[in-house]
Chain A
């Protein structure tokens, strides 16, 4: 197998007396959806936060395309091409879809002397947004509408599309479908597949085992701060995953 695009080795993270990660390993390959599953407190969200630059690990190393990197802040992760999609929709609801797509990365008009004014190039941002949404199959009535008037599924689609447009290496998705209805969930999962086909690694965190088996190409199971199992989605059952999560089924690392 090719070298993983995003890899974590021996990550340790403690909060006071709580050992959230006890030397955890993790790997994600380009062009695959790898699900990160585990019971509450298994350390999957902590690992995701270490990979998105929110937390700094106490020990261990993070590699991007085989090179060691330091994700000192969420912004540092963004600059390295690692985007995060949050469960609670980190979008500005009062702004239109294209403004959200370019939030923090606005295109401005004029070169040289006029640059410092920061005049927004709305036309170019809207056109590029419409093109990006079209490429990804995100259908909006109007890319210029405020997000507040869109459905939850459409808003999460905008969030996923934003990460897809800017991520060059990996996208972390922390329970992106948790707040959605059945139909909307399907649309978002379909979008996740398209994003994967663009060639980035998608790290998909979820509690929903049937959903994980539906969307993931591979599954890495965490328990008590360690990776305890790796599975191929096509060859795995919910029972196996639950067995690994609870410690009934032992595969690797687990003490």
Chain B
């Protein structure tokens, strides 16, 4: 800017007298974040379950019940964080996940994979990779369709993605005649879906961690993330400074679709079947994870780290209830209460902040 001498700064009379530009201490800022609190709740749950029954911390339970079974949910929650930060929603993710898996499976079949016995061992990595890419592309295409409907056609996200939820599921059933395609290529299910690295860490969990870390960095530290927050915070303000809001929204929903496609491929690798009926509630699971993790449904604020913790809480409750001998159906009630509490807390924080 063209700096010229101006009158020395005056102290605003309507602001506290201790004005400085040095800022609030970092610890205060962290203490005020939702993510820290939800993380402490998770730690508290783990400690409580472990005290009641130390078997809770067994590597098998942690690995299978908490991480592997929820790898696809976490991948969906990463994408959902971006969507909800723009003040949007995506109900189609579970169906898009299934559709992506069906597309990948169809490509395997087209390459001559046999689907009887214990799994197709007659196609190799090149064919498998082509199939997985086709699955991811199918998911991305559905995501872009969602984005175009929301950003260009101005159909409310709730309705647009409820529509594509039905379309993707219907297409999956049509492609399969309603019968799951099972017995996926053994290379995929053995080397990706059911293998541990260093004997302890499942490959799917590593993929999930990579997705979560990249997603977290993208949202927090890049221009793409900054625009995502800006649109969720004040779409009109973003438009007035020249941000192409429609194009950005299409990218955000496209990213969600891409991650749903990845999750579909991960699900194929894990279960060796297209799980047509297994993902009808994934949308609600992902939304709950994001909201429990402190992301505001009103948009503008939220972190991927919170969503990961938010996805782990229901899993921890379920696993913990089993181990301490409580009826595991209580997890639904506990998760419901945590979800309502998280949204109440967000609204309460907004109200008090606006009044000060």
Q: Which A residues have a C-beta under 8 Å from some C-beta of B?
A: 74-75, 78, 84, 86, 90-95, 99, 103-106, 108, 117-120, 122, 130, 132-145, 148-149, 151, 153-154, 164-166, 168, 181, 183-184, 187, 190, 194, 197-199
Chain B residues positioned under 8 Å from A120 (CB to CB): 221-223, 226
Give the A-B contact count at a CB cut-off of 8 A: 139
Chain A residues positioned under 8 Å from B116 (CB to CB): none
Chain B residues positioned under 8 Å from A148 (CB to CB): 350, 353-354
Q: A148-B353, A199-B4 are in contact. Are A103 and B238 (CB under 8 A)?
A: yes
Chain A residues positioned under 8 Å from B350 (CB to CB): 148
Cα A95 to Cα B229 with chains together (Å): 8
10 A-B pairs (CB sep. < 8 Å)? A90-B240, A92-B300, A94-B301, A99-B230, A137-B8, A139-B9, A140-B21, A141-B18, A165-B1, A194-B7
Per-position binary interface string of chain B over residues 225-264, scored 1 when its CB falls under 8 Å from any chain A CB and 0 otherwise: 0100110111011101111000000000000000000000
Q: A74-B240, A119-B222, A187-B12 known; 5 other A-B pairs, CB under 8 Å?
A: A93-B233, A134-B21, A135-B6, A143-B21, A183-B13
Which residue of A122, A141, A164, A168 contacts B20 across the interface (Cβ within 8 Å)? A141
With both chains docked as a complex, state the minimum distance between the C-beta of A168 and any C-beta of chain B, in angstroms.
8
Is B14's CB under 8 angstroms from A151's CB?
yes
Size of B's binding interface in residues, CB under 8 A: 46
Cα A153 to Cα B11 with chains together (Å): 13
CB closest chain-A residue, reference B232: A94
Cα A184 to Cα B10 with chains together (Å): 13
Interface residues of B in 342-356 (CB under 8 A from A): 350, 353-354, 356
Is B15's CB under 8 angstroms from A183's CB?
no
A-B residue pairs, 3 tightest by C-beta? A94-B300, A104-B241, A118-B223
Q: A119-B222, A141-B16, A143-B21 are in contact. Are A104 and B243 (CB under 8 A)?
A: yes
Is A86's CB under 8 angstroms from B240's CB?
yes
Q: Which B residues have a C-beta under 8 Å from some C-beta of A?
A: 1-4, 6-16, 18-24, 221-224, 226, 229-230, 232-234, 236-238, 240-243, 299-301, 350, 353-354, 356
Which residue of B10, B222, B234 contacts A139 across the interface (Cβ within 8 Å)? B10
CB closest chain-B residue, reference A151: B14
CB closest chain-A residue, reference B21: A130
Q: A92-B300, A95-B230 are in contact. Are A139 and B237 (CB under 8 A)?
A: no
Is B222's CB under 8 angstroms from A93's CB?
no
With both chains docked as a complex, state the minimum distance between the C-beta of B53 and any C-beta of chain A, in angstroms.
42
With both chains docked as a complex, state the minimum distance between the C-beta of A111 and any C-beta of chain B, in angstroms.
15
CB closest chain-A residue, reference B18: A141
Chain A residues positioned under 8 Å from B12 (CB to CB): 139, 151, 153-154, 187
Which residue of A86, A142, A197 contacts B23 across the interface (Cβ within 8 Å)? A142
With both chains docked as a complex, state the minimum distance between the C-beta of B241 and any C-beta of chain A, in angstroms.
3
Is A91's CB under 8 angstroms from B234's CB?
yes
Is A118's CB under 8 angstroms from B224's CB?
yes
With both chains docked as a complex, state the minimum distance between the C-beta of B255 and any C-beta of chain A, in angstroms.
14
Is B238's CB under 8 angstroms from A151's CB?
no
